[in-house]
Amino acid sequence: MPDVWLISGIPGPGKTTTGRLLAARFPRSAFIEGDLLQEWLVNGIVWPGDEPAAESERQMSLNVRNQCLLARSYAEAASPPSSTTWW
């Protein structure tokens, strides 16, 4: 399975920029932006650091889990040399 990179940190240090630049260095790559996944929540969204804190943490854990599941799915699709899945 190809490498999967997970970049995390506080808001504002350049995670998105770094992730996009890193992904651009590979012939086949995917970039999964956690903020965009968070926006998939239609109602009841609680951003990191907002109240209620327990719900914010629960949503963040779900977000990270979904990022990892998506990353694994892309990595598994890329690993066989005869793969016809391109992104």
- pLDDT tens for 65-83 read 998 899 889 888 875 443 3
Share of the chain above pLDDT 90, in %: 25
Residues sharing a CB contact under 8 Å with residue 18, sequence separation 6 or more, in sequence order: 7
Of residues 11 and 1, the one with the higher pLDDT is 11
The predicted structure's pLDDT at residue 53: 95
Of residues 42 and 2, the one with the higher pLDDT is 42
Residues sharing a CB contact under 8 Å with residue 2, sequence separation 6 or more, in sequence order: 75, 78, 79
